[in-house]
A and B are shown apart, each in its own frame.
Chain A
Amino acid sequence: MKYAFFLGCLIPAREPNYENSVRKIAPILGIELVEMEGANCCAPFSIQSVDYTSWLALAARNLCIAEKMRLNILTLCNDCYESLLMTNTILKEHDELRDKVNEILADVGLEFKGKTDVKIFSDVLYEDVGLEKVKNAVKKPFNGLRVAVQPGCHLTKPKRIHFGQQLGIIALDELVKATGANSIPYERKEACCGGPLRGVNDEVALHVAKQKLDCMKAAGVDGIVTVCPFCYLELDMGQIEIKRHLKEEYDLPVLNFAELLRMAMGMKLEDWELKAHRIPITKILNMAEEK
C-alpha cells in the first residue's frame, strides 16, 4: 500500500519522535510512504481564520501534488486531516469554488481534479492494513495498561464531513486494544484538548486542557494516547504548565499512538525519543511483556 505521506508542519518541527515511530512501523505493516515534494502547510485553524480562499488554495496545492503522484494522502495530524479533507470535499462538490481555486493554482502550474482521497493514520491501519495484521505484528503486548485515548476533535468532527462520527473513535480504540492496552472510557472523551489556542491564548488553552485531564484522572488511567500532535503537545507540555500556573498535578504520561504501537511491536524507543516526553514515560515502559 503506497501513500503520499503528508507530514504537516508540527511533527517535523517539534515532534520528530512521532515521525520516527511512524517510519519504523510502516514497512512492517506493508505501508510505503512516498515523500510529497515541496508540499506546504495544510493551512490549519489559524490560517483558515485569516482568509478562506487562501486556505482552499494552499490545501488544494497539496491535493494536486498527491494527484500527480496518483496516490491517496496519508496524514498523521488531525488538523492536517481536517484541512485537506474539508478542502477536498468542498472543491469536489462546488464547481464555482473549484474554478476559482484552479485559477489561482494555474499560476503555479497545478490543477485540482478531485482524484485523490485523504486518510489519517489510524483509519489506514484499521481499514486498509486491517486489525488482524496489526494484531499479528504485536510481539510485546501491554498487559493491563489503562490508557485514556484522546481521539482529538478533527478525527471525527464535523460529522457530516467525516461520514460517521463514532467509527474513527471505534477504530482507534480497537487498535489500542490490539496493542494489549485497555482504552478506558471517560467523560467528555470527544472534547477538545485546547491545542488550537496554544500560542494564541495560552491561559484559555490550559483551562480547557485541565478539564480534559480532570476527566481522564477521574477515570483512573496510567497514561494518555493521542493521535494529533497538537493534543500531544497540549496534554504533555500542558501538564507542566498546569502544574506551574494552576497548581494541579496529574503525572499522566502521554504517548502518541505510533509510539504505543511501535513499543508493542517489540521495538525500543531511543533515548532522545524518551526525553521528548515532558512527563516521563518510564512506568509505561515497564508494562510491556513478552507475548
Chain B
Amino acid sequence: MQKAIMVIGGGVAGIQASLDLANRGFKVYLVEKSPSIGGRMAQLDKTFPTMDCSMCILAPKMIECSHHPSVQLLTYSEVKGVKGSAGNFTVTVLRKPRYIDEKKCTGCGICAQNCPTETPNEFDENIGVRRAIYMPFPQAVPRIMLIDKENCIECGLCEKVCPAKAVNREQQPEEIELDVGAIVVATGFDMFDPSVIPQYGYGRSKNVITAMELERLLCASGPTGGHLIRPSDGKIPRSIAFIQCVGSRDRREWINHPYCSSICCKYAVKDAVLIKEHESNSLVTIFYIDMRAFGKGFQEFVNRAKSEFGIEFIRSNPGEISEDRKTDNLIISFEDPITRTVQNMPFDLVVLCPALIPSKGVKELANTLGIELDNYGFLKSEDSVRKPLDTKVEGIFACGYCVGPKTGDIPDSITQGSATAARVAEVLAFKEES
C-alpha cells in the first residue's frame, strides 16, 4: 500500500488538505493545472467579514507547501489517467512545459522586463496585461517564470538576458507516473459568464464588470495598483451598483443554476465596503432579491454596511442595463420597491455577482477518475449527509467548492480540506490494518 496522496487542485482547500496530510507523515503530490498554487483566494483583495488581507493569510500556507519536505508541488500539470484502486493507484500526470529550467530559475524577472510582447493577464481577469514570459502573480508559488508559447514571438531576448541561463525553448511536455494510496480532488470554481444574459450588457458595455474583475481592480497588486478606476475611460466611478443573483437561483433551462451560490451576498457587501474605504464619497447600491448573510459575524457586517458606511440596499432585481453612449454610464432599470414604479438610475460602474460554477475541465477529470457529477456539473459525494467528502470510488475524495456550494467561504474550504485529510488518513490506516 502506498503512503503517498495526490491532491488535485492548489486552492486553499487543496493546500490545507496537503499540509494536514504532510504533517501527518504522508507524502503529498499537489497537482495544479495553472502555473501557481493559490487558487481564487490569491485573487482576492480582502476577505469577509473581518476584512483581512487575503494574500496575507494565504501566502504563509503557500510557502509552507513549497518548503515542506513531504509536499511535492506539480504545478502547470494535469492528471491524464488513473489505474488501480484504493491503497494502490497509479496516476499519470502530464507536466506542461514552462520552457524554463525549474532548477535554475530564480524568479528575478529580468526576462519579463525585456519581453516585447503584451497579452491579457488571466490572473487579473484579462484587465491587465502580462508578457509572454511571465510570473503568474507577484506572490506565485513556485516562484518560477513560464513562457506562453501561443503569444511568444520567438525573439529569443529572454534567453539572451537570463542571468541563470534558465530559458529552454525546446522543453517538451513530460508524462510521469506516480503511485499513490488516495486522491483528493479540490478543483474549486469558475465564475459563470454573464454575457449569456444579454440584458445586462456584459461584454458589450465596458463598465459592466464581474465581481472578480472588481477584486483585481481593488487589489494593490492588481493591474491598477489598487486604484478603483473604470475600464472605459479610467475615471474614478462615483456611483457603483452591485447586481446579485446573476445566473444564481435561475431555473431557466439554458442557464440551469437554480442553486444559491452561498457567498455572493457576503462578498458583495465586502466589496461595497472596500469601495467605500477607497472612495468615501462614492454612492454604492446593492440590488438584491434576498440578503443571505448567515453565520457568525455576517449579519453584523451587513448592518455595519448600512449604518456606518451608508451603502444602499434595494430589494429589487433589475431587468435591464442600457448604456449612455456619450458618457459610458450605465442606466439600470428596476422597480422601486417603495413607489412600485419603474425607475431608471444612472451609474458609473456596474458590478455583476455571477453564479459560481464548476471549474473548467472538471468533467474530463471526473471521467478519468471514474467519479460522478451532479446535474450542475459539481462532483457528487458518495452520500452528502453521512459521507460528504467521499466519492463513489473508494480512495478518491473531494472537498471545497468543487463539490458544490456549501457554506462556500474560505473558512469552510479550509475546514473541508482538513476534514478530508483526516478522512484520507482514516481510510488508509484502515486499509493498512486489513
Touch A–B, Cβ below 8 Å: yes
Interface status of A159 (Cβ within 8 A of chain B): yes
* Contact of A188 with B322 in the complex, beta carbons under 8 Å: yes
Q: List CB contacts (< 8 Å) of B240-289 with chain A.
A: 252-254
List 6 additional contacts besides A159-B252, A166-B198, A187-B323; criterion CB under 8 Å.
A159-B254, A160-B252, A160-B253, A187-B322, A188-B320, A188-B322
Query: Which residue in chain A gives the minimum CB-CB distance to B325?
Result: A218
Query: Which residue in chain B gives the minimum CB-CB distance to A215?
Result: B322
Question: What chain B residues lie within 8 Å of A187 (beta carbons)?
Answer: 322-323
CB distance from B140 to the nearest CB of A (A): 40
> CA A160 – CA B252 in complex, angstroms?
9
Chain A, interface residues (CB within 8 Å), range? under 10
Binding site for B on A (CB under 8 A): 159-160, 166, 187-188
Question: What chain B residues lie within 8 Å of A166 (beta carbons)?
Answer: 198
CB distance from A191 to the nearest CB of B (A): 9
Question: What chain B residues lie within 8 Å of A159 (beta carbons)?
Answer: 252, 254
CB distance from B252 to the nearest CB of A (A): 8
A-B contact list, 8 entries, CB within 8 Å: A159-B252, A159-B254, A160-B253, A166-B198, A187-B322, A187-B323, A188-B320, A188-B322
> CA A187 – CA B322 in complex, angstroms?
7
Question: What chain B residues lie within 8 Å of A188 (beta carbons)?
Answer: 320, 322
Interface secondary structure of A, over-half rule: helix
CB distance from B197 to the nearest CB of A (A): 11
Question: What chain A residues lie within 8 Å of B323 (beta carbons)?
Answer: 187
Query: Which residue in chain A gives the minimum CB-CB distance to B253?
Result: A160
> CA A12 – CA B198 in complex, angstroms?
36
> CA A166 – CA B195 in complex, angstroms?
13
Query: Which residue in chain A gives the minimum CB-CB distance to B322?
Result: A187
CB distance from A157 to the nearest CB of B (A): 13
CB distance from B4 to the nearest CB of A (A): 49
Query: Which residue in chain B gives the minimum CB-CB distance to A160?
Result: B253
> CA A256 – CA B320 in complex, angstroms?
28
CB distance from B32 to the nearest CB of A (A): 37
Query: Which residue in chain A gives the minimum CB-CB distance to B323?
Result: A187
CB distance from B414 to the nearest CB of A (A): 41
CB distance from A195 to the nearest CB of B (A): 21
Query: Which residue in chain A gives the minimum CB-CB distance to B254?
Result: A159
Query: Which residue in chain A gives the minimum CB-CB distance to B204?
Result: A185
CB distance from A106 to the nearest CB of B (A): 35
CB distance from B121 to the nearest CB of A (A): 30
Question: What chain A residues lie within 8 Å of B252 (beta carbons)?
Answer: 159-160
> CA A42 – CA B254 in complex, angstroms?
29
Question: What chain A residues lie within 8 Å of B253 (beta carbons)?
Answer: 160
Question: What chain A residues lie within 8 Å of B198 (beta carbons)?
Answer: 166
> CA A85 – CA B323 in complex, angstroms?
34
Chain B, 301-333, contact with A by CB distance < 8 Å: what is the 0/1 string? Answer: 000000000000000000010110000000000
Query: Which residue in chain A gives the minimum CB-CB distance to B320?
Result: A188
Instruction: Give the most central of A159, A160, A166, A187: most B CB within 10 Å.
Output: A187
CB distance from B207 to the nearest CB of A (A): 16
Question: What chain A residues lie within 8 Å of B320 (beta carbons)?
Answer: 188
Question: What chain B residues lie within 8 Å of A160 (beta carbons)?
Answer: 252-253
Question: What chain A residues lie within 8 Å of B254 (beta carbons)?
Answer: 159
Query: Which residue in chain B gives the minimum CB-CB distance to A187?
Result: B322
> CA A187 – CA B199 in complex, angstroms?
10
Question: What chain A residues lie within 8 Å of B322 (beta carbons)?
Answer: 187-188
> CA A57 – CA B322 in complex, angstroms?
41
CB distance from B313 to the nearest CB of A (A): 28
CB distance from A51 to the nearest CB of B (A): 29
> CA A160 – CA B323 in complex, angstroms?
28
